[in-house]
Structure 1
């Protein structure tokens, strides 16, 4: 930890001559307006805790963000009395997860079998979800949102993180807080500033994201398709398909070199139904490249600082669980830290408790994702057999184990609940 705090102190020394326009005091400063940041902001604001949420962008609308709200998050919304209103926003429901191959369809998970009031994955633009939660938080006068706040520095005094400095409207600003929370995603600036190093794995794949129009003849919901050396997932976004084209790790440059026509042919080879609109994919500017990562940091906290969500553990897109694990982190953080923040008795062991409760579920789901990647994705993407036929691994074909994938995707290894006042 000494080396980490030294890194923070060096940053402070380098920026001592910056002119600070204003200094704001708050109980909790949350950096990052993704699912973890907005949900934690709402939960703390409901407890009467002053909270400031800093988001580097000027709105929440970024392309190709995760749009899946799983049963675990819906149950949390229900506990907050928000589920039914959230479901009034435009959305689609996915109740089963499966893939189609040349030999027929294979079901990977059936959420209908789960014991929950929300046995489905809610497909909803993440921007709409974030805006909904922020609108709820704004009902509390102790909540403040600052958009366009580019956090550059941690404030450290006597070995304790005391807040952040950010560049925003008019220049440099300073936020002083009892607790600073880094919820700023897989490229976390706070993780970098604190000097945390992530321990990563090497997923065998990357993903190309793009959109094509839906046809009235297309099937409802989402679907996955497997072809020779290719995996393609289609997510229903109303009048469009959001499409994930899974490629071998490190293969993007060769795809670029082969050109857009070769890519279009590969896509249609997997899903011939897209042949009537594939020409709308004109060039690579329409395609977003996601370098798939899976990693976690060994220590999620320093005195006065906590990292949650992708800032603490970057998830593979397998199962689409990243949003929901981030939300669960936020709930556990609020459950453990609300009382210490209100009583001005926050200690390092309170932050350690958050990691203790969330580290095992994170390790388990990352191990599950790695197993799926190696046993399914890698076999398909790297097969040289022209007669390759996909079959489920044996561990997923056993009847006694058939509900495990659905439960892990829906809830993790155990549900998380919002702590209520006794």
Structure 2
């Protein structure tokens, strides 16, 4: 990487850096891709808009597929030394019945569980590993504002941070900047969207010793309360009909607390932990994907390319799988200082089908199960098929391992 001081009347550019790959967005996709490329000797600059990784209610589920990738990198044992909880089962509970929806303990993997770990700890771990390589650079507080385009090819980005404007020139720019991607917007990518029937309110309640373990979906007429076991606390997802947030707010926090206890009576002794709406995070559920993930000099991955519903908690894992495939395909071209459009197209080809399959699965669950529950006053009847033990492995495999396995491939430097 080289740095040159220049003047630019439009933005008063403080400096220009050159690199092989500029990655915008320090989430799971961007951080893992940066690590993989740095391991291959590719010079990479990772830009993160915030000054730290600590933001509430990000995806905290690390599935078996990602743990296997960490093992291939020789990082799984050290990663599991960080504080975490293990989720071995997901259950559905109605006022009349309880059924195991997914049993991860039957999966043929060294990691037959979902690892619950704060995303901030995961990202700090990955970027610390990347910093061991001289070709890696992390810039926090880098608010990317513009794509640099010359002769129809993206040549890098301009960002604000550190007291002014900066410019990065790159052979390849990767947009990994999440569901509200600026690079997706500035690159004029066309999205295909669906209309999920629900939104979600996230909050946390203490986990007590006598509580059950694992993940539990509680269904009652007009209400869904999903509980994710994080060891010392429950991460709660309270499902509401799409567009119903304002009505919930107007009814007041006490009404929300009462509704939660009606669905999960065991929470009556801790629901008062919720004292303020600031403890409740609203998520507008979306599901979409861009038609084409790339243009000359620019590639989108993760939520920038495909916004995932929270159903199954698979977003972080599909983003990381995108990063692994991108690194496998692009490391050699980046080492050769030339990335062709066909290389970028190959990334989308390998990742689009798994993405479409999992989004179809999420849509099916939302429309066939969640929507009827949220709009009906009848008690949800658990389908007979979900009671068959043999079927527990199907959703477990789809959630934990994904549609197709993804593995890290080393290239010659």
Q: Per the alignment, in what secondary structure is the counterpart of residue 30 of structure 2? A: helix
Residues of 2 paired with 1:400 and 1:100: CA distance? 19
Residue from 104, 107, 119 that aligns with 2:97: 104
Q: Which residue of 2 aligns with 1:405?
A: 395
Residues of 1 paired with 2:216 and 2:390: CA distance? 25
* TM-score of the two chains, using structure 1 as the length reference: 0.93
| 2:191 equivalent to 1:198 | yes
Residue from 161, 167, 178 that aligns with 1:174: 167
Residue from 379, 386, 409 that aligns with 1:419: 409
Q: Which residue of 1 aligns with 2:381?
A: 390
Residues of 1 paired with 2:267 and 2:325: CA distance? 43
* Mapped contact 2:198–2:371 kept (Cα < 8 A): yes
1:158-307 correspondence to structure 2 within 5 Å: 158-307=151-300
Q: Per the alignment, in what secondary structure is the counterpart of residue 207 of structure 1? A: strand
Q: Which residue of 1 aligns with 2:3?
A: none
Query: Residue 33 of structure 1: CA displacement?
Result: 0.3
1:317-358 CA distance string (max 9 Å, x none): 000000000000000000000000001231011000000000
How many residues align? The count is: 405
Query: Residue 295 of structure 1: CA displacement?
Result: 0.3
| 2:146 equivalent to 1:153 | yes
1:49-75 CA distance string (max 9 Å, x none): 000000000000100111000000000
Root-mean-square deviation over aligned CA pairs: 1.4
Q: Per the alignment, in what secondary structure is the counterpart of residue 403 of structure 1? A: helix
Q: Per the alignment, in what secondary structure is the counterpart of residue 236 of structure 2? A: strand
Change in 2 beyond 3 A, CA 1:393/1:303: farther
Structure 1 stretch displaced more, 170-179 or 112-121: 112-121
1:248-278 CA distance string (max 9 Å, x none): 1111111111111111110000111111121
* Mapped contact 1:375–1:393 kept (Cα < 8 A): no
Residues of 2 paired with 1:400 and 1:102: CA distance? 24
Residues of 1 paired with 2:233 and 2:37: CA distance? 36
Q: Which residue of 1 aligns with 2:322?
A: 329
Structure 1 stretch displaced more, 307-316 or 268-277: 268-277
| 2:364 equivalent to 1:371 | yes
Q: Which residue of 2 aligns with 1:355?
A: 348
1:209-257 CA distance string (max 9 Å, x none): 1112222332233322112211111222333221111111111111111
Query: Residue 398 of structure 1: CA displacement?
Result: 5.9
Residues of 2 paired with 1:298 and 1:400: CA distance? 36
Change in 2 beyond 3 A, CA 1:382/1:262: same
1:88-127 correspondence to structure 2 within 5 Å: 88-127=81-120
* Mapped contact 1:53–1:145 kept (Cα < 8 A): yes
Residues of 2 paired with 1:401 and 1:123: CA distance? 24
Residue from 11, 14, 24 that aligns with 2:17: 24
Query: Residue 404 of structure 1: CA displacement?
Result: 1.9
Residues of 2 paired with 1:152 and 1:335: CA distance? 29
* Mapped contact 1:103–1:389 kept (Cα < 8 A): no
Structure 1 stretch displaced more, 140-149 or 410-419: 410-419
Q: Per the alignment, in what secondary structure is the counterpart of residue 282 of structure 2? A: strand
* Mapped contact 2:100–2:392 kept (Cα < 8 A): no
* Mapped contact 1:92–1:221 kept (Cα < 8 A): no
1:152-193 CA distance string (max 9 Å, x none): 000001110000000000200000000000000000010011
* Mapped contact 1:152–1:166 kept (Cα < 8 A): yes
Structure 1 stretch displaced more, 242-251 or 166-175: 242-251
Q: Per the alignment, in what secondary structure is the counterpart of residue 368 of structure 1? A: helix
Change in 2 beyond 3 A, CA 1:406/1:220: closer
Residues of 1 paired with 2:387 and 2:216: CA distance? 20
